Amino acid sequence: MKIVLLGPPGAGKGTQAKSICNRFSIPHISTGDIFRNHISKRTPLGIEAKKSIDRGELVSDELTINLVEERLMQEDCKIGFLLDGFPRTVIQAKALDEFLENKGEKLDTALLIDVPKDFIIERMSGRRVCLSCGASYHIKFNPPNYEGKCDVCGSDVTQRKDDKEETVKDRLQIYHDQTQPLINYYKVKEMLSIVDGTQAINDVFKNICDILGSGNK
């Protein structure tokens, strides 16, 4: 199964991605997590990406597309994958289509987690993330079992730098300008599915499973 997850910052892409990938045994590819991992290791790519991410801006298409294509060429992606946070521009979406087409493959679905702006600020301000494994928590809606520690790997959970209210506003604007057009891009290709992301985390997941079916693709 080859899935693209779409949705505004804070929609719950990372949260749902973990459950979807467990259920369907496919790798979770989050460009945001990959960039954050490079930033924490201070690699050249991390240093370059940090400049944009801290400002809430997008990393360049060229750098991001190369990174994703390299990842998709790895062995574990042969059975499928879930892309979380990519594509984010029409240029990225076209590059992905072309990449898959060259291998005689195509996406199964682009799944939009639909959440209106009003919900986003509360979700972002209470979010805590694990920089080691990418797991995402919320101090009110989804707290870790032990305060400040990741349930999955035991590392410390922290607040993301780009979750400050000012940066969140910029990220929302960029989503509106650059990523929202992808909804129509996939709609025209009859690949778009939409799930109501304002429900409780488990209910969103149930709806997603209904949409994705048994996963025998």
Binding-site residues for Zn(2+) sit at 130, 133, 150, 153
Q: Which residues inside 41-100 make contact with ligand AP5, applying CB under 6 A?
A: 52-53, 56-59, 64, 85-86, 88, 92
Q: To the nearest whole angstrom, how small is the minimum distance from the Cβ of residue 31 to ligand AP5?
A: 3
Please give the C-alpha separations between residue 120 and each of 8, 26, 116, 123, in angstroms, as whole numbers.
Answer: 8, 27, 7, 5
Residue type (1 letter), 122: E
> Looking at beta carbons only, is 83 or 95 nearer to Mg ion?
83
Mapping DSSP to helix (H, G, I), strand (E, B) and coil, where does residue 137 land? strand
Tokens (6 digits) for 197? 């992301």
> Looking at beta carbons only, is 2 or 88 nearer to Mg ion?
88
Which residues have a catalytic role annotated? 13, 88, 127, 160, 171
Q: Which residues inside 130-169 make contact with Zn ion, applying CB under 5 A?
A: 130, 132-133, 135, 150, 152-153, 155
Q: What angle do CA 155, 73, 48 make, to 5 degrees?
A: 55
Beta bridge partners of 127: 138
Q: Given the rule CB under 5 A, which residues bind Zn ion?
A: 130, 132-133, 135, 150, 152-153, 155
